[in-house]
Amino acid sequence: MGQDGNWVKPIEILLVEDNPGDVRLTQEALKEGKVRNNLRVAWNGVEALACLRGEGEYASAVRPDLILMDLNLPLKDGREVLREIKSDPSLRRIPIVILTTSQAEEDILRAYDLHVNCYITKPVDLDQFIRIVRSIEDFWLSVVRLPTEGASR
Amino acid sequence: MGPSASGEAGWRVYDAEGCAPCHFIARVGNPRSPLGRRGTADAGDLHDEPHGLSEPLGALPADSPTIPLPRQALMSRSPLPRPSAPPVPSGSGEDTSTQSQGELAREASDRTDLEGELRMWEAKCAGILAIAVDAIVSVDEEQRIILFNQGAEDIFGYTREEVEGQSLAVLLPERDRAVHERHVRAFGEASVPARRMGDRQEIVGRRKNGEEFPAEASISKVEVNGRLLYTVVLRDVMGRRNAVAELARYADELARSNEELERFAYVASHDLQEPLRMVASYTQLLARRYRGRLDSDADEFIGYAVDGVNRMRELINDLLTYARVGREGREHGPVDLDQVFARTLSNLQVVMEESQGIVTRDDLPTVDGDEPQLIQLFQNLIGNALKFRGVDVPRVHVGCEQGRDGWTLSVSDNGIGFNLMHQERAFTMFQRLHNRQDYPGTGIGLAIARKIVERHGGRIWAESEPGRGSTFRFTLRDGN
């Protein structure tokens, strides 16, 4: 099924992450994946929300098919962003994957209470990280059937 | 039968346990004391030979106070039917003189027995009063001190002569005096058979030098010919109180420093994860993309970097695991160790296959504990048993034995063993007994195992000999 990806529109992913090292790693991992994608990066929570709502300089931003987000972000915390997205009827159907270093039980509970779609702890090992990014891609972009409102806002 | 017997001698005893020594109070007291003077007149038929009875305590003046009797003595004095002398109907008129002579003789011999018994009792009580570390103080109905033992002298700093005849109030802080006076009076008026007043109440005492001190006191009362006599037994608990407070302070400090250490280990290991992940990921990415594409030096350098990062990752992970044992303990509940065993083996699958090890078990009990931690414990011990194997196929057995307070579990292997001299080292964090090249690992496994066992209220120890395998034993509470 992977090869078909070349013929359809690339998948839009919004990565909300403040660490350039992690951004690059995610890009590298996605590069090794099989789904054609456009990765857009928001470096903090405020930028993420502006981007999703097409505000200001983000007026032309494309609605993402998937959001990958860290929890600890500058300006606006990931938990806060999560809460705002999930209480916004026009955004809440976009699947959100929390990708963070925190293994704290309370962070996990909190995120699910805020209706996160899944919570993943970043592994230290590169191979594992690549495997995880690929399985996110595979599951959310190939296996799962998402609502068809698609890219239109 | 107490009331009738003692009533005969004009005594009524109210103390809690019915213990006899309180009968002696007045006797040991200063004859000049108010009770002494009052008591003489009504001493009753038993007190007609005071001098003879007083010998064990030294000669007493003729107007010596009441000579209270131990209950046993009073009992034997009561006119119980005696097999050798059936009661004779009065007014029979026959042989009265012969009979009364016999009675007199018997009575005389009874009296001698009684005196002996009394002397014994007095000697015992004098001994008790003299060596008691507690203060023993008796007061009369007006709460004037009539007995003050050596213990009281030591505790309060007064001599007996200084306080006898004085009010009990001198032994109390001024602010408490009125309250105490009322308490004692209320205690005296209570119609119920008295208990210890306030059941070992804590009171504040006052020494001669004005120093106040916490004390535990109990009180009993005795009625002598209608007048009450109180005896207070008082223990100075200042030393104990201070020691307890000191201990509590140390325990607090220790708990706090332990907690800080745990938090530190957790935060350190947790926060180290982030930069570590960057170093690890990028050295791995370098290795992945560029191994064999640069020169051989570059490959070697990358190799060392990757090794170092892997070791550091292991250490940090283990440290985090160790810190979590303290931080993230769940409520304890019944845990089926057979299931723990099964889970452990499935977690150790790779090691099991690689080592070809055979792991067996007894029927394991249900214990009280935290399941994830117990799995971790089993994993560390069985994992070690497989790791430190000799040339033979590793055989590991998990056994159990029921003891008085719970279970003793054991994990035995046929591995390389170790010298028990190093036991403490084996259980200490990051201490290793073997070469890293031969037996990889961070040296934290047994430290984690010990922490888990200790958090379960048990202990862990090893039995081993180099070349003869090891057995690790630990105790857990029963879960049923």
In this prediction the ipTM stands at 0.72
Tell me if B89 is assigned to some domain: no
pLDDT of residue B158: 94
Of the residues B270, B281, B324, the best mutation for testing chain A's interface (the one with the most A CB atoms within 10 Å of its CB) is B281
* Phi and psi angles of residue B125, each rounded to the nearest 5 degrees, phi first: -70, -40
The tens digit of pLDDT for each residue in B169-189 reads 899 998 888 888 887 777 777
Burial class (CB in 10 A: 0-12, 13-18, 19+), B463: middle
Could you give the CA distance from residue B283 to residue B311 in angstroms, rounded to a whole number? Answer: 13
Residues of B in contact with A105 (CB under 8 A): 328
Of A101, A103, A126, Cβ closest to residue B281:
A126
In the structure encoding, which two tokens stand for residue B267, read together?
A: 């935060």
Mark whether B223 and B115 lie in a shared domain. Answer: yes
Q: What is the pLDDT of residues B255-303, one digit of tens each?
A: 888 888 777 877 777 778 788 888 888 888 888 888 888 888 888 888 8
What would the pLDDT profile of A13-55 be if each residue is shown by its tens digit? Answer: 999 998 888 899 888 888 877 778 888 999 998 899 998 888 8
- A to B CB pairs, distance under 8 Å: 33
Instruction: Tell me, yes or no, whether B336 and B322 share the same domain.
Output: no
Q: Are residues B365 and B444 in the same domain?
A: yes
Task: Look at residues B203, B236, B269 and tell me which one is the last residue of a structural domain.
Answer: B236
Q: Are residues B277 and B391 in the same domain?
A: no
The matching CATH number, chosen from 3.40.50.2300, 3.30.830.10, 3.40.30.10, 3.10.20.30, for A2-142 is 3.40.50.2300
* Lowest mean pLDDT segment, chosen from B36-40, B128-132, B157-161, B280-284: B36-40
Asked which of B275, B298, B328 is the last residue of a domain, the reply is B328
Helix B296-327 vs helix B371-387: angle between axes, to the nearest 10 degrees?
Answer: 140
Across chain B, mean pLDDT equals 76
Out of B56-60, B318-322, B350-354, give the one with best mean pLDDT. Answer: B350-354
Q: Is the dihedral of CA B79, B85, B91, B95 positive or negative?
A: negative
* Predicted confidence band of residue B449 (pLDDT cuts 50, 70, 90): very high
Q: Which of residues 295-314 of B touch A (CB under 8 A)?
A: 313
For chain B, the domain total comes to: 3
- Torsion over CA of A113, A118, A121 and A127, rounded to 10 degrees? 180
Domain identity same for B214 and B280 = no
Nearest to A101 among B274, B280, B281 (CB): B274
Give the contacts of B9 (CB within 8 A, at least 6 positions apart): B44, B45, B46, B68, B69, B74, B77
pLDDT band at A4 (very low <50, low <70, confident <90, very high): very low
Please indicate whether, in this complex, the C-beta atoms of B284 and A127 are within 8 angstroms of each other.
yes
Are B231 and B260 contained in the same domain? Answer: no
Instruction: Write out the residue range of the structural domain in which residue B363 sits.
Output: 332-480
**pLDDT band per the 50, 70, 90 thresholds, residue B471:** very high
pLDDT at residue B21 is higher than 70: no
Shortest Cα distance, chain A CAs vs residue B304, angstroms: 16
Question: CB-based contact (8 Å) between B321 and chain A?
Answer: no
Cβ-contact B279, B309 below 8 angstroms: yes
Is 60 exceeded by the pLDDT of residue B204?
yes
What is the token pair recorded at B312? 């550091």
The answer on B225 and B139 residing in a single domain is: yes
Q: How far is A132 from chain B (nearest CA, A)?
A: 14
Residue B427's pLDDT is what? 84
pLDDT at B440: 74
Q: Do A126 and B276 touch (CB under 8 A)?
A: no
Q: What are the domain boundaries of chain A?
A: 2-142
The number of C-alpha atoms within 13 Å of A21 and in the hemisphere containing its C-beta is 15
Handedness of CA A95, A96, A99, A102 (dihedral sign): negative
Residue B341 exposure: Cα atoms within 13 Å on the Cβ side: 20
Note whether B405 and B476 are same-domain residues: yes
| Interchain proximity B281–A21, CB inside 8 Å | yes
| Residue B133 falls inside a structural domain | yes
- For residues B336 and B319, membership in a common domain is answered with no
Lowest mean pLDDT across A21-25, B415-419, B421-425: B421-425
Q: Which of these, B178, B172, B231, lies nearest to B203 by C-alpha position?
A: B172
